[in-house]
Amino acid sequence: MNTPPVSDTWARGNPYEQYIGRWSRRMAPLFLAWLDQPAGQRWLDVGCGTGALSAAILDHCRPSSLVGVEPSEGFLQLAAQNLAGRARFLAGDAAALPLDDAACDVVVSGLVLNFVPALPAALAEMQRVAASGGTIAAYVWDYADGMEIIRVFWDVAVSLDPAAAPLHEGSRFPLCEPSALNAAFEFVGLTEVETGPLQVTAAFADFDDYWRPFLGGQGPAPAYAMSLPEAQRASLRDQLKSALPQAADGAISLSSRAWAVRGRVRRDT
């Protein structure tokens, strides 16, 4: 069987919110608590998406300023709409940030780094816009293990269609584990690098609550699901329903773990 095409592109905010956004909004405050930055800092949110992390920064960190940069017009519009007047949002790419040198004190990125095609260039850009002594930090889903919403989907998909194995996000994104994150940050010269786990539980009312977001077609797993012929998609749905742990009332609880990483910018004077 030929492997169906799959897109990593995120273009529309509402399907993302139903699929992953509702869990990423719960993860963001945990990341900020772990990061533990003082009030009054100038923040940059790289790949701000629909604004989950930006909203948490505004609610928990008392920034002096906040800029969100995002390449997707649909996501950018939703973030600006949700946080109008509280932050500035700019169209831009992680490897070409539209800010001046040393314009920020804290540069963060939530659930994005694994999708960046030229990560060293993007991290170098984050350092460029950060002040000396500033912090660069990020978090990514643990696709290979602790992000069960997505891992179980791909485990079942590959069991039914071995040709889908190269699409499994657990193998596609080797960055998403502590040693790889640590190495990526140290490679570009960041100092005091450390990593840590972030954990939430994703609770679904029933199987349909879990399955429905995959029909939005946006993101790797939903794109794969919607690329299948109807009969294959129905088989995937049935096997997933059997594989997921369900309580007596049909409720499903799944682990949603991310790995966080941070480092400090040091420049020679």
For 225-234, the pLDDT digits (tens) are 999 999 999 9
Least confidently predicted of 74-78, 99-103, 158-162: 74-78
Q: What mean pLDDT comes out for the span 60-78?
A: 94
Show the beta-strand stretches assigned E in the chain: 42-46, 65-70, 88-91, 104-110, 130-141, 191-204, 252-264
Contact 213, 18 (CB under 8 A): yes
Q: Is the pLDDT of residue 2 over 60?
A: no
- 256, amino acid identity: S
The model's confidence at residue 23, banded by pLDDT at 50, 70 and 90, is confident
Task: Give me the chain's average pLDDT, please.
Answer: 92
Among candidate residues 96, 148, 162, 165, the one with its CA nearest the CA of residue 258 = 148
Q: What mean pLDDT comes out for the span 32-52?
A: 96
What does the block give as tokens for 93?
């790419």
Instruction: Report how far residue 224's alpha carbon sits from residue 6's, in angstroms, rounded to the nearest whole number.
Output: 6
From residue 76, alpha-carbon distances to 72, 79, 129 in Å are 6, 5, 20
Please tell me the predicted confidence (pLDDT) of residue 10: 47
Helix/strand/coil for 54 = helix
Q: What mean pLDDT comes out for the span 197-205?
A: 95
What does the block give as tokens for 219?
């993101």
The model's confidence at residue 1, banded by pLDDT at 50, 70 and 90, is very low
Q: Is the pLDDT of residue 200 over 90?
A: yes
Contact 4, 166 (CB under 8 A): no
Residues whose CB falls within 8 Å of the CB of residue 40, separated by 6 or more in sequence, listed in order? 62, 63, 64
The model's confidence at residue 12, banded by pLDDT at 50, 70 and 90, is very low
- 62, amino acid identity: R
Q: What mean pLDDT comes out for the span 119-141?
A: 97
Helix/strand/coil for 8 = coil
Encode 141-150: b = buried (16+ Cβ within 10 Å), e = exposed: bbbbebbbbb
Q: Which helix (H) or strand (E) holds 175?
A: none
Q: What mean pLDDT comes out for the span 230-242?
A: 97
Contact 3, 166 (CB under 8 A): yes
Q: What mean pLDDT comes out for the span 251-267?
A: 95
Residues whose CB falls within 8 Å of the CB of residue 269, separated by 6 or more in sequence, listed in order? 132
Q: Is the pLDDT of residue 167 over 70?
A: yes
Query: pTM of the full predicted structure?
Result: 0.89
